[in-house]
Chain A
Amino acid sequence: MRRLTWAIGVTFVFVAWYSFSWERAVYGQIPVLTVAPTTPESVRDWDNTVNRMARTDELRVRQQRADTLVLGRSIERLAQYYRGVRVWGGDVSRQLDGPSAVSVFGTVYQGLDFDVTPTLDRDVATTRLQNVGGSLLTPSTEPELVILPDDGGAFRLAWMATVHTRTDVVRFFIDAHTGDVVRRYSMLQRQSPNSTVIHGIGVLGDDKKVSVTPFAGVFIAVDSLRPPAIKTYDLKGDVDRAIAIIFENSTSLSPADIASSSSTTATWFDAPVVDAHTYAGYTYDYYYKRFGRRGLDNANRSLLNIVHSVKRSDIFDASDAVFSTFYANAFYCGQCAGGVMVFGEGLPGGVYLSNGERFDYFAGALDVVAHELTHGVTNYSSQLEYVNESGALNEAFSDMMGTSVEFFFQKPGNGPLKADYVIGEDVDTCCALRFGAHDGGRSMADPALYGQPDHYSKLVVLPPDNEHDNGGVHTNSGIPNHAFYLAIEGGTNRTSGIKVQGLGASNREQIEKVFYRAFAQLMPSNANFAMARTVTLRAAQDLYGLNSAPYNAVRDAWTAVGVN
């Protein structure tokens, strides 16, 4: 009976997850200037504008990185400020070749003219945010005064803070005058030499090499062979401790939490530990080999994985929130415990959702692990706002890279441990009643197969809150996902009927580089799909030239999915 209750509840969660089709509210006209110059003259004009705004403190450099794909170039990211207060979403990325600007993309809000003195001071705002968030704010999460472009077409002075709840990390904006919550959404980017190498048995029973560290007679899951420390933590099913570490920030991961082998034998049998640990390493390797990127922050920041946040045997006592967070999910949280990947426990053997769907350990899918780590890359690069179209782009980029990592390390094909364009098929197996019995959660080749739009005309418009998937970020990601697929493999979009001549699987590296460059180097944080088209074309031009085969493939793919 309890199992049945669970099945019903879980079914509701997932039906809701995939089937939203509400209309989005009309938010009015915000005086926003989209920056996407395409001619050398207009780039130069915008470059001058950016310089002028930087001199007057309207733009502040928030990040500067050397370009790892085009020698001699660098990428600069600037945030917009008004009278010393950050304008939320005002963001510009500028590609520089020495002192000269090659491209400028971004969003700059205009017409700002109001007092930035809040009625609620910081202490009052902190108390208010703690009340609405249900959690104490720490010095590292204290509120920031921002100017929030308002849904009604104006600007609002707001206090913003990221609040860690028991099962979520939520970004709150409260009106700096009234204290009303004006926006909130989840920050969880979800996915439904003293070292040695030992054997490890993965979730799918495959034998793989695991880079570990000998310690006190056993092996611990610390990979010292790669430049960043890759550590995998085993919370041994202690959900309260998991919540305290990940969401409440009331305690920290300790060395004792690092997963350790149960014996001194040279084979590790804890499958989710093995897969989370090795697949995080593979993903790091992919980014390094393909793009020259050194990890999440391009500076070899540690990769921290968490497995066994819950026990499978406790599943029937778990709350809905715990189930959807720690059993049937995987997520990256840049604000949690210094930035962690958390991989869900899946369902116990013999337990299925009512539609027949079943989840295994989420760490068992290479594309899932790479997807989550890519959220970390986004977090340290474009910071694509995890809401609406920019959120869908955030999700899509993770799917693109997750799939690319699969193709980099696995042979193309169907079935376990094969590279394909379906996300999560190795751990999400299905099922007679959902999506025509297809494994996995999304298809880049045929988004409609899993209830996603494959064309911009079918964009699903939802309120941008965490009850509605932050505006359908996991739904609308189907559109850019399909563009990525078409640019590589070619084919005909089912909605538009437009046929794309893809570059072919053997040239997939070129498309991967174009999208990586666009999403991780050039994209501003609040890009929409149209901006993504412009930026990817700029990236293709940078790498391969105007009207080159990759450029044309990317252009035609966006056109086919209705993004112009």
Chain B
Amino acid sequence: MRASTCISLTLVLSAGAGERTVSAQSAARTDRVRISINVGAQPSSITFAGSTTKAVYLENAVVGTTYGVRGGQSFDGGVLVRVVGNFGVGVAVSSFVKRQDGAVAGTIPHPFFYNTPRAIAGTAGGLERNELVTHIQAAYVISSAGKVDFALSGGPSFFSVKQGLVSDITYTEQHPYDSATFATALTTTVGASKIGFNAGADVGVRLSKNVGVGGLVRFSRTSIEFPLPGATTNVKSDAGGVQVAGGLRLFF
């Protein structure tokens, strides 16, 4: 498993703080459960590539696509349960959906001559990336100043990712066939699952007994492989990343 770069911003639940927290710091920490609902962004980008080959005019046509998953909006919801003292466990689910274009480039063999490939290039539009990640968290909650508390969390993440990939292209050609022109990309959506990790920090500000607001920063990461029909190797991509989010906090 590779844990590198993705940044996922989630809205974690951070435990609410506020005045009760101030007292709870030293004495009664009565809220054991915090629910968070956040909207945020996953600002970082991922770039990866894949290629397919197929027999055309007795040779292999090679079509490669460079996929760029730029940052975008994300949604997150979770629950954290304090178990012992400042320690707790939680689970959060984050979702990131983004549609983007892929840059297609390849070579098409010549119908009359060996080793005379014709370059071809185009754009595959509307390739959707859908990341649904379940984060299991172990948390340590620090309350301060009565209204504010702060939580550090980390743990494994279960990634379920769907990605639109270019599986083939169509092109036009005409005599004397010295060039070929990209026409359309045929796409397919494939899914893959993988375990990764997450680590993050959450801060919450209590506005009333049970309600507050908060924000979080989380980094999650895994490396995932998509099986692509027609490809001899899977398409490898990172998933996850930094998430920055903010939203509602409910304390019970």
Contact = CB atoms under 8 A, between A and B. Distances in A.
Given A209-B114, A285-B112, A197 B175 contact: no
Contact of B57 (A197, A282, A288): A197
Given A197-B58, A198-B58, A266-B58, A285 B111 contact: no
Contacts of A198: 58
Nearest to B116: A209
A281 B176 CA distance: 10
Contacts of A208: 114
Contacts of B110: 209
27 contacts: A197-B112, A198-B58, A199-B58, A207-B114, A208-B114, A209-B57, A209-B58, A209-B110, A209-B111, A209-B113, A209-B114, A211-B111, A211-B112, A225-B111, A225-B175, A225-B177, A226-B175, A227-B175, A266-B58, A281-B112, A282-B112, A285-B175, A285-B176, A288-B175, A288-B176, A289-B176, A289-B178
Most chain B CB within a 10 A radius of its CB, from A199, A211, A225: A225
Which of A207, A209, A227, A282 has the most CB atoms of chain B within a 10 A radius of its CB? A209
B108 to A, nearest CB: 12
Contacts of A225: 111-112, 175, 177
A197 B111 contact: yes
Given A208-B114, A209-B57, A226-B175, 14 more contacts: A197-B57, A197-B58, A197-B111, A197-B112, A199-B58, A209-B58, A209-B112, A209-B113, A209-B114, A225-B175, A281-B112, A285-B112, A288-B175, A289-B178
Interface in A194-209: 197-199, 207-209
Interface string B191-221: 0000000000000000000000000000000
A216 B57 CA distance: 21
A208 B113 CA distance: 7
Contacts of B58: 197-199, 209, 266
Contacts of A197: 57-58, 111-112
Nearest to B176: A285
Nearest to A228: B175
A281 B111 CA distance: 12
Interface of B: 57-58, 110-114, 175-178
B104 to A, nearest CB: 24
Nearest to A294: B175
Contacts of A278: 112
A227 B114 CA distance: 21
Contacts of B113: 209
Interface of A: 197-199, 207-209, 211, 225-227, 266, 278, 281-282, 285, 288-289
Contacts of A266: 58
A225 B58 CA distance: 15
B60 to A, nearest CB: 14
Contacts of B112: 197, 209, 211, 225, 278, 281-282, 285
A225 B176 CA distance: 9
A520 B110 CA distance: 30
B66 to A, nearest CB: 30
Nearest to B173: A225
B24 to A, nearest CB: 78
A523 B28 CA distance: 110
A207 to B, nearest CB: 8
A457 B128 CA distance: 79
Contacts of A211: 111-112
A289 B57 CA distance: 21
A372 B177 CA distance: 24
A288 B58 CA distance: 25
A285 to B, nearest CB: 5
* 5 closest cross-chain pairs (CB), A and B: A197-B57, A285-B176, A197-B111, A209-B112, A226-B175
Nearest to B178: A289
B173 to A, nearest CB: 9
A211 B57 CA distance: 9
A348 to B, nearest CB: 31
Nearest to A199: B58
B116 to A, nearest CB: 10
A7 B110 CA distance: 45
A447 B112 CA distance: 34
Nearest to B57: A197
Nearest to B177: A225
Nearest to A267: B58
A281 B58 CA distance: 18
Contacts of B114: 207-209
User: By CB atoms of chain A within 10 A, which of B57, B58, B114 has the most?
Assistant: B58
Contacts of A289: 176, 178
Nearest to A227: B175
B158 to A, nearest CB: 48
A285 B174 CA distance: 12
A278 B110 CA distance: 14
B111, B112, B177, B178 pick with most chain A CB within 10 angstroms: B112
Contacts of B175: 225-227, 285, 288
Contacts of B178: 289
A369 to B, nearest CB: 15
A227 B174 CA distance: 9
A285 B176 CA distance: 7
Contacts of B176: 285, 288-289
B172 to A, nearest CB: 12
A302 to B, nearest CB: 15
A207 B113 CA distance: 10
Contacts of A285: 112, 175-176
Nearest to A226: B175
Nearest to B59: A209
Contacts of B111: 197, 209, 211, 225
A208 B176 CA distance: 17
Contacts of A209: 57-58, 110-114
A226 B177 CA distance: 9
A438 B157 CA distance: 79
A197 B56 CA distance: 9
Contacts of A207: 114
B57, B110, B175 — which one has the most chain A CB atoms within 10 A of its CB? B175
A212 to B, nearest CB: 11
A81 B176 CA distance: 41
A294 to B, nearest CB: 10
Contacts of A288: 175-176
A369 B110 CA distance: 22
Contacts of A226: 175
A303 to B, nearest CB: 14
A225 B113 CA distance: 13
